[in-house]
Amino acid sequence: MESPGTEEGAILKPSGMILRKSLFGEGHAEIEPNNEDAMTKRHEAKYKIDRRMGQNIWGRPKSPINKREYGPGQHGQRRKGKLSDYGVQLRAKQKLKGYYANMSERHFRGIYDEARRLKGDTGAHMIGLLERRLDTMIYRAKFVPTVFAARQFISHGHIKVNGRRVTVASFRVKVGDEIEVKEKSKQLALVLEANSLAERDVPDYIDVDHSKMTAKLNRVPAPTDVPYPVMMEPHLVVEYYSR
């Protein structure tokens, strides 16, 4: 039975779990905990992030910002005033967090806190930690078309790291780790689509063999190495959390 407060298209199970239609078809079910933390994650349409930022942050041809260069909602076309310093910092944080599959604020803040404890440039360390996430790695390797699809691809058990199945999207990849798409998953439509995408290239800090569907991190990238379609400003994110 559907609950009045349940998102359309989702079924509330007795165990308090939400069953959603999978990106991979009817044979796969995506289950998410029905709690406050889960509701803070990526439940808004991903392309609304583009329109809210006023930029095509993933560089995708399907982005609505290519046709409608204003924010979502009935007030989206209102003229926007000049942002304060805080507003600029907040926008930089929202853009970077949104780019990495709109991860939860709690998780994103945790990455900042970890980066701050490392010696050197906190912003650069943040980018390095974000790029070492398993979902980011398989997105960069062009095993999936979007970083949102990467999370589900991993949770459904399609990825191995050093020969062992990993189902946690935030798994931290180390330099030299070998990532592999499972044999039965190599011919999935999603994988074939991603391989043929011309909109982005594999960065040089990842070695990829698409004939074997394997990838390896050969070094931790600096912010200038990461192929963002738009300018990211990790130093403003650091300023936001440091205020």
User: Is there a single domain that holds both residue 84 and residue 98?
Assistant: yes
User: Is there a single domain that holds both residue 173 and residue 123?
Assistant: no
Give the integer Cα–Cα distance in Å for 84 and 102.
23
User: Is there a single domain that holds both residue 59 and residue 119?
Assistant: yes
Q: What is the pLDDT of residue 57?
A: 59
User: Is there a single domain that holds both residue 230 and residue 166?
Assistant: no
User: Is there a single domain that holds both residue 137 and residue 207?
Assistant: yes
User: Is there a single domain that holds both residue 213 and residue 182?
Assistant: yes
The closest alpha carbon to 53, from 2, 111, 93, 21, belongs to 93
Give the global pTM.
0.73
Q: What is the β-pairing status of strands 178-181 and 17-22?
A: unpaired
User: Is there a single domain that holds both residue 235 and residue 213?
Assistant: no
User: Is there a single domain that holds both residue 62 and residue 176?
Assistant: no
Q: What is the pLDDT of residue 103?
A: 87
Q: What is the pLDDT of residue 230?
A: 85
Please report, in angstroms and rounded to a whole number, the separation of the first and last CA atoms in the chain.
46
Give the integer Cα–Cα distance in Å for 110 and 112.
5
Give the integer Cα–Cα distance in Å for 225 and 203.
8
Q: What is the β-pairing status of strands 164-165 and 25-33?
A: unpaired
Query: The CATH number of the domain where 51 resides is what?
Result: 1.10.1050.10
Give the integer Cα–Cα distance in Å for 194 and 10.
27
User: Is there a single domain that holds both residue 123 and residue 234?
Assistant: yes
Contact 116, 154 (CB under 8 A): no
pLDDT per residue rounded down to tens, the chain (243 residues): 444 444 444 444 444 444 444 444 444 444 344 443 443 344 345 556 655 655 655 556 565 454 455 444 444 455 566 879 999 999 899 889 988 988 899 999 999 999 999 999 999 999 999 999 999 999 999 999 988 899 999 999 999 999 999 999 999 999 999 999 999 999 999 999 898 887 788 999 999 999 999 999 999 999 999 999 888 999 999 999 998
Its domain, for residue 74, covers 46-130+226-242
Q: Domain count of the chain?
A: 3
Q: How many H-runs (helices) and E-runs (strands) does the chain carry?
A: 9, 8
Rg, C-alpha atoms of the chain: 19
The DSSP H or E segment spanning 179 is strand 178-181
Non-local CB neighbours of 177 within 8 Å, separated by 6+ positions: 161, 162, 216, 217
Q: What is the pLDDT of residue 213?
A: 96
The closest alpha carbon to 121, from 132, 110, 129, belongs to 129
User: Is there a single domain that holds both residue 214 and residue 143?
Assistant: yes
